[in-house]
A and B are shown apart, each in its own frame.
Chain A
Amino acid sequence: MSNGIRVAALEDIPEGEGIVIDKSVTGTADDIALLRDTDGSVWALDDTCTHEDASLAEGWVEDGYVECPLHASRFCLKSGEVQNLPATRSTCPHRVEVRDGEVYLFPNETP
């Protein structure tokens, strides 16, 4: 078990928004979106929408879901499951831990 990658300070991610962590840092196929829910919790999903070329980190985060900035498909923050069209495929979730105000990412581990 690794301790994860320290990717951000919690205060860098405003509630209801997201930031992108580059794949050169995460070692994943896609960049990863760190998304902060309206209850303050932090989640991570593959950043590129499964529909077309949009960054989910630029989406609207609220009540457990992120809404894609282009055509508004919503994805579950926890499971990555797609909720509505036009996207038809779910996206990949990654585990996140917050310790002492720092956000640690565990790429490809299930939350």
Chain B
Amino acid sequence: MDADISRVVVVGGGIAGVSTVAALRAGGFDGDLTLVDTGEFPYDRPPLSKEYLAGRRDLKQIALRTPQWYDQQDVRLVNLTAVTALRPAEGAVELAGGRLLPADRVVLATGGGAARPPIPGSDGERVHVLREAEDADRLRTVLVPGARLLVVGAGLIGAEVASTAVDLGCEVVLADPVNPPLAAAVGIDLAAWLHGQHAARGIAVVPAGVESFEPTAAGIAARFSSGHEPRVFDAAVLGVGMVPQTALAVAAGLETERGIVVDTCQVTSNPAVLAVGDSARTRRDGLLLPRTEHWEAAQQDAARAAATLLGRPAPPATAPWFWTDRHGRHVEAVGRMAEADQVVIRGSFDDPAFSVFGLRAGLVVAAAAVDDPTAVRAARRMIDRRVRIDPARLEDPSVNLRALLR
């Protein structure tokens, strides 16, 4: 390890920040390690649209680590505190209130906020977003049986909120001009199937965007694009993406481009500052890659950042993976479906579980599955190990996928 790195401050206690401190300690870093977060304690975000929103789990149950863990790992958790400025030249970060925290290296794991497009009227109190536990708490109070809810955006979070709201007895309208959403992530056929699940659960799907909101006596009226009738709701949720939190980086003069720009070792344009997770954006071979914005990608960033700080080679990258849960179905996807030139379906869309494999030049490059995580686990290994697989055997549900890997 670099002898001059004895104090590391990690800014932000989401999955990326917590994984960074964990990976540093696991890798043998024995210097001063501080994690600063604005919340009471670091918690996991995926349940915010699922179990937590449904009221089946409380905040303690979605904590990323137990309170004792920080002591055991000798990590100083500075909670309920924001970092207000980076001072790389002075080897410090500034906390709200002005206190300086010495740091030889800083890791930015600041995540992002829910996108709030400039839709007129969307600043009203009946219009919600979902990124923090507080957002979920506020939203849950309106998800009562019979409540009329408009979900704007049918991507990952919007679809999950719609599903949870139906479970809770709400009357849900889901609006998205893209039909179907998620095609790039899971392929057009599965995307269409997934989108079709909403109507099957009684959700009214409106293929349009929202142009404006207007308060009414009893709720909020939404005006849609492309001539759909305006409708009145008790509440609306915007699930239209996230905006990376780059303010600290910008103020410190780091390069940003809809994300804090990092190299493949997670180092920003200032060698004393690294960035990981949803706030970071990688440049590889001169090319800015799209942000990944998934839970596991944040962990892999963290592992790479820790390796960089420890002066070790980065762990090998694996195919990107994410899951989503909606309407009682567990959906997973791995790899890059958009790169496939051949698609193989295993099982039947009429009878889940089933899976879809994307191949390119005879190699598996992606897979997505409904209620069949084993298919995705297998696909991930096929992708990472570049195993050549016979499509006819992939397609045959009687062929054990594990056996294909041997």
Chain A residues with a Cβ under 8 A of chain B: 14-17, 52, 58, 60, 67, 69-72, 84-86, 88
Contact = CB atoms under 8 A, between A and B. Distances in A.
A88 B63 contact: yes
Majority SS of interface residues in chain A? loop
A52 B51 contact: yes
Contacts of A84: 299
Interface string B277-317: 00000000000000000011001000000000000000000
B386 interface: no
Given A14-B400, A52-B51, A88-B64, A67 B323 contact: no
B403 to A, nearest CB: 9
A36 to B, nearest CB: 11
Contacts of B63: 88
Nearest to B44: A86
Contacts of B246: none
B377 A67 contact: yes
A86 B400 CA distance: 28
Given A85-B64, A85-B299, A86-B46, 17 more contacts: A14-B402, A17-B402, A52-B51, A58-B374, A60-B377, A69-B374, A69-B377, A70-B323, A70-B330, A71-B46, A71-B323, A72-B321, A85-B19, A86-B44, A86-B295, A88-B63, A88-B64
Nearest to B51: A52
5 contacts: A58-B373, A70-B373, A72-B321, A85-B18, A88-B66
A97 B403 CA distance: 25
Interface size range of chain B in the complex: 20 to 34
Nearest to A68: B373
A52 B64 CA distance: 13
B170 to A, nearest CB: 23
A58 B65 CA distance: 25
A17 to B, nearest CB: 7
Interface string B196-237: 000000000000000000000000000000000000000000
A69 B373 contact: yes
Contacts of B21: none
Interface in B50-95: 51, 63-66, 69
B152 interface: no
A16 B402 contact: yes
B15 interface: yes
Interface in B31-51: 44, 46, 51
B65 A88 contact: yes
Contact of B15 (A16, A67, A69, A85): A85
A5 B406 CA distance: 32
A86 B14 CA distance: 12
